[in-house]
Structure 1
Amino acid sequence: MLAFRLGFLDVGWLDLIDIALVALLIYQIYNLVRGSVASRVFIGYLLVYLAYLLVKALGLNLLTTILEYFISVGALALIIIFQQEIRRFLLLIGKSTNVANSRWLRRWLLRQSGMPEPTTPLRPILDACKTLSTEFSGGLLVIRKNDDMQKFAQSGEVIDAEVSKPLLLAIFSQYSPLHDGAVIISDGRILAARCILPVSDDDELPPALGFRHRAAVGMSEATDAAVIAVSEESGRLALALNGELFTNLTIGELEDRLGRYLREPGLPKPELQ
């Protein structure tokens, strides 16, 4: 194996690849905790570990032993400190590697069964959001893409009705017992209303955002669903996709982002009528 000498170290190509992968891992972890208190803890622990590697290479046995004990105990402390960040990281991996939710697998199975790929009509959803925004009624709508929504639908009241503007407006009316919580829409049908969604704990979200918007981001972090939040105070429209929140959208911008996100390569555009 090709190698070259760097000071007192023999470095090979596998060592360079190993270093590059570790650097990439550290960068991704830093991006995950950036902006939170945990980021300062992470940097401090990283500096201690670099000091441990240095004193070990220099042969300072006593200091190496002390730092080894500190690092072994610190690893358990890091799991406790970073439990929320670890959860977000595992959710991200699970979303990207879930074979059951693969769009290509779903398309292949549908093609084998001869069934058309179901689509959700966007026009009644957009019309309802426009009215809710105008009337400052507030609303939270989850539109399924690939991930299963049954667990979240079971947290609310099952409806299982065709999606329509009058029904959505009736659900989010201030006099309706179903207006609290979220509506879950899948394949052109309203599965359930008054559903409970996971709330994001992202410290980078603006403090002014309310519970409805944090629930929208939390749902988009946990699943690949598109989540629309209509502010009850300002009537502004927001869309959460893959943990990112787009705020102050016009109805045209909402339609464009939502349609592009739900549209899969090679499939027809989601119905707007």
Structure 2
Amino acid sequence: MTLAFITLSFFDVLDILLVAFLLYQIYLLIRGTVAINIFVGLFLFYLMWLFVKALNMELLSSILGQFIGVGVIALIIVFQQEVRKFLLHVGSRYNFSHKFSFEKWLTVDEKSIKDKEIKAIIESCESMSKSKTGALIVITKRTDLLSFAETGQIIKARISSSLLESIFFKNSPLHDGALILDNNRILAARCILPVSDNPNIPGSLGLRHRSGIGISQITDAHVIIVSEETGNISYVMRGKIKVRISTEELRRFLNADYSSFIS
């Protein structure tokens, strides 16, 4: 394909499209965070370097070029959390170990455990909502959360409403922190989660909600939060939170129906 005096091959067009796609993914990764302002600043700095270079301003171009030369290292340092989030996202999306699971060979009784666990989670959240007991429940999806589980107390127990309520009881030694569910089991309690630095989070949402949003930003985990102040139940996925949901909405979420969340 020829445009004026520039000849573009198929691979040139493919290169442009891939770069555009990469830039778009970077934008999706950092939008809504303070990192977007840093990224814009670095981009403007790069444009200024190209401008002074085109004007043959050798001294200024040389000074700016020294910063550009270590640009990759600077980007890794500045966007450390975003790079980690991107690599976790890629790794979890193409995790082949889940593609060869034996889930399709489970019996009907083994599959029905999921329904019992959903019922237990809903019953406990409804009870904790009425008593205004704060809770932070993280549901593992494809991303391995063992590193976060190891910050707390490993439990590895079956899910039951009574156990969930006992863990989050205010006088319980395990109530402070997050509870991580993995492989239809309670993996760990009292876990420490990364706190989101999104400046757009409403001030009415406390540290428990910020932690829930934070873990969902860097992993594909889903999070259930019960507010200690209001008793409201919230659900978090992909860094987005839906507050004051009903138990029926919670049931649909746990059954992988996210229609009301997306709408």
Give the distance between the partners of 1:75 and 1:144, measured in 2 at CA. Answer: 33
Per-residue CA shift, 1:132-189, capped at 9, x if unaligned? 0111111112233344444433333333332222222222111222211122233443
- The answer to whether residue 15 in structure 2 is matched with residue 26 in structure 1 is no
Q: Secondary structure at the match of 1:185?
A: strand
Q: CA deviation at 1:42?
A: 2.0
Q: CA deviation at 1:89?
A: 2.1
Alignment match of 1:170 (pick from 166, 181, 197): 166
Per-residue CA shift, 1:35-86, capped at 9, x if unaligned? 4443233223223434544666x58373654543331144433333222222
TM-score (norm 1): 0.78
Q: Secondary structure at the match of 1:248?
A: coil
Q: How does 1:17-96 map to 2 (within 5 A)?
A: 17-53=14-50, 60=56, 62=58, 65-96=62-93
Give the distance between the partners of 1:187 and 1:18, measured in 2 at CA. Answer: 41
- Structure 2 unaligned spans of 5+: 259-263
Report how many aligned residue pairs link the two structures: 252
Q: Structure 1: which amino acid aligns with 2:221?
A: A
Give the distance between the partners of 2:35 and 2:103, measured in 1 at CA. Answer: 45
- The answer to whether residue 249 in structure 2 is matched with residue 253 in structure 1 is yes
Q: How does 1:1-273 map to 2 (within 5 A)?
A: 2-6=1-5, 9-53=6-50, 60=56, 62=58, 65-100=62-97, 102=98, 104-106=99-101, 109-111=102-104, 114-116=105-107, 119-120=113-114, 121-260=117-256
Give the distance between the partners of 2:48 and 2:96, measured in 1 at CA. Answer: 42
Per-residue CA shift, 1:199-233, capped at 9, x if unaligned? 33333333332121122223323433322110000
Q: Structure 2: which amino acid aligns with 1:207?
A: G
Conserved 8 A contact 1:5-1:11 = no
Conserved 8 A contact 1:92-1:221 = no
Q: Secondary structure at the match of 1:193?
A: strand
Give the distance between the partners of 2:145 and 2:184, measured in 1 at CA. Answer: 14
Q: Against the structure 1 CA distance between its residues 197 and 41, is the aligned structure 2 distance closer, same or farther, given a 3 Å change threshold?
A: closer
- Structure 1 unaligned spans of 5+: 263-273
Give the distance between the partners of 2:180 and 2:239, measured in 1 at CA. Answer: 18
Conserved 8 A contact 1:226-1:258 = no
Between 88-97 and 197-206, the greater mean CA deviation after superposition = 197-206
Q: Against the structure 1 CA distance between its residues 18 and 244, is the aligned structure 2 distance closer, same or farther, given a 3 Å change threshold?
A: same
Question: 2:261: which partner in 1?
Answer: none
Q: Structure 1: which amino acid aligns with 2:220?
A: D
Give the distance between the partners of 1:198 and 1:64, measured in 2 at CA. Answer: 40
Q: Structure 1: which amino acid aligns with 2:100?
A: L
Q: Structure 2: which amino acid aligns with 1:42?
A: F
Give the distance between the partners of 2:175 and 2:120, measured in 1 at CA. Answer: 18
Q: Secondary structure at the match of 2:186?
A: strand
Give the distance between the partners of 1:204 and 1:230, measured in 2 at CA. Answer: 20
Give the distance between the partners of 1:59 and 1:175, measured in 2 at CA. Answer: 69
Question: 1:268: which partner in 2?
Answer: none
